[in-house]
Amino acid sequence: MTMISAQTTEADLWIDGEWRPAASGERFDVIDPATGEVTARVANAGEDDVDAAVAIAEEAFSDRRWLAISPLERGRILRRIAELIRQHHCELAQLMTRENGMPINLALFIEIPLAADCFDFFASLVVKPQGEVLPFSVAGSAPDYMAWTMKEPIGVAGLITPWNFPLLMPTWKIAPALAAGCTMVVKPAPETPLTALKLAEICHEAGVPEGVINVLPGLDEAGKALVRHPRVPKIAFTGETETGRHILQAAAPHIKRVTLELGGKSPNIIFADADLEQAAKSALFGVFYNSGQVCQAGSRILVERTVYEPFVERLAERAKKLKVGPGTNPRSDLGPVISREQYEKVLRYIEIGKQEGARLAAGGRALDGGGGGYFIEPTVFADVSPSMRIACEEIFGPVAAVIPFADEEEAVRIANGTMYGLAAAVWTNDIKRALRLARRVKSGTVWLNTYQVLSPTAPFGGYKQSGLGRELGMQALDAYLETKTVICDLNDRPMTLF
């Protein structure tokens, strides 16, 4: 019987397949961003809880309670998780909207199907961690050797997830970790703990044994303790670049395996020969989806100068027609931003844009959502120069910076001109130009004549300070595996030097 629902007002930690209070007895508030009011109180995990959860996960890994299940059955369990996510779609959507403010249609038709597909994809990879037989010889020795590699799960994985996609981000880590054979401790963002706890329940219902998945909601202490823990050899984190730097430093003493999916300031490059109507529609989705709270948001829109003004006008008019409101309203295109802190940050950047001399073409104001929530108009700045802060720094809100460029060389120079390299797009009907830019733009994903389309089959991650390693695809599975080489001497007399 599931315990987390859209009406849950209190929740504990999920450790060893059961609910446990935090060792300290402390709780923290979960705020509904559409109202600014407390919607739930959740146990606040601390260092003692991390120690307990890691011990449970380590025991589950050591006794092979997950790995002892046949690979085909483990694949079936992952597929059952996918099916249960689909069955619980209404409840999950309501939870996400309540915690995150995401418009319910986006939750129902984008995030939940993608999460289910992710478990289906990694179910197919459970049998893929295979080694290979190697040609092997030793100089000066008889030739009879046999060598091969084995793929083995790393062990206990510490998974730290953000608030912007409360179901999808835990899924991107839990699914490959399970497929690889790891056990795990999950630390969800404090803004959105209930969805992650619900996912843990779903995994348990599907047949994942106790202790394999442990979920510790909490504030900063739990995340820091998990990263520092000497018996957690793997850390996977999605979040801000600055936090990623701190995680690398904290993980260094134990030489942990670390994957980071960090920030972005992604360029969406539009040439004059593109379908401008379609490019404008896609750019709108690229920057305002989930109220701009997307790491790969196309927040820098680079437009060829000969069509710059018509494009800005088209984009601004479309932005003004977007409906901002509570995520529970099916007509809302944008919900609130996640928190008071984020709301104030985005409004500060809007003021910075004005002070820097950018032209406000649309939006720029805070909105009254009717209940004290954190609503901001979709905002379009024109006449933005590449050196402006609104063009260089990740805002993580509904703010677009539209930058003109003269030619292909300038477009590439501007596109590559930040510390980030997460995603990019190129809009053109010139196939040679599209392929040239796909090679020249330094980012982990380059979309051609589209934006913001993802699949669990395709790896996702960043160049430069947008991250280390990849989520999704075969590469995500490799991030939770070690390679062992085994060498067997088949000669009658083993080689010796003495």
For 431-486, the pLDDT digits (tens) are 999 999 999 999 999 999 999 999 999 999 999 999 999 999 999 999 999 999 99
The count of C-alpha atoms lying within 13 angstroms of the C-alpha of 422, restricted to the half-sphere facing its C-beta, is 26
**CA–CA distance, 100 with 308 (Å, rounded to integer):** 35
For 248-279, the pLDDT digits (tens) are 999 999 999 999 999 999 999 999 999 999 99
> 415 by DSSP, 3-state: which?
helix
Question: How many contiguous H segments (helices) and E segments (strands) does the chain have?
Answer: 16, 25
111 phi-psi bin (left φ>0, alpha ψ -120 to 50, beta other):
alpha
For 320-362, the pLDDT digits (tens) are 999 999 999 999 999 999 999 999 999 999 999 999 999 999 9
Model confidence at 53, pLDDT cuts 50, 70, 90, reads very high
Kind and range of the H or E run holding 475: helix 473-478
For 220-259, the pLDDT digits (tens) are 999 999 999 999 999 999 999 999 999 999 999 999 999 9
Q: Which of 58, 111, 261, 394 is catalytic?
A: 261
Enumerate the β-bridge partners of residue 302: 269, 403
* Phi, psi angle pair for 236, to nearest 5°: -125, 125
8 Å CB contact between 214 and 16: yes
10-262+466-484 domain in CATH 1.10.1060.10? no
For 164-182, the pLDDT digits (tens) are 999 999 999 999 999 999 9
Average pLDDT for residues 418-429, to the nearest whole number? 98
pLDDT recorded at residue 1: 42
Quick one: DSSP state of residue 458? S
pLDDT recorded at residue 153: 98
Question: How remote is the C-alpha of 170 from its chain's centroid?
Answer: 8
288's CB contacts (< 8 A; 6+ apart) are 319, 322, 333, 334, 378, 398, 400
- In the chain, the N- to C-terminal Cα span, in Å, equals 67
**CA–CA distance, 204 with 342 (Å, rounded to integer):** 34
Tokens of 394: 């990740």
368's CB contacts (< 8 A; 6+ apart) are 375
**CA–CA distance, 428 with 139 (Å, rounded to integer):** 56
What is this structure's pTM? 0.96
Tokens of 375: 């609503």
Tokens of 47: 């260092």
Model confidence at 494, pLDDT cuts 50, 70, 90, reads confident
Is 37 annotated as catalytic?
no
Architecture of domain 267-448: 3-Layer(aba) Sandwich (3.40)
CA-wise closest residue to 401 among 344, 350, 340, 366: 350
Model confidence at 371, pLDDT cuts 50, 70, 90, reads low
- Characterize the bridge pairing of strands 257-261 and 467-468: antiparallel
- The domain segmentation of the chain, as residue ranges, is 10-262+466-484, 267-448
458's CB contacts (< 8 A; 6+ apart) are 445, 472, 473
Tokens of 280: 């404008």
Residue carrying structure tokens 């179910």:
123
| Longest Cα separation, the chain | 85
Enumerate the β-bridge partners of residue 482: 152
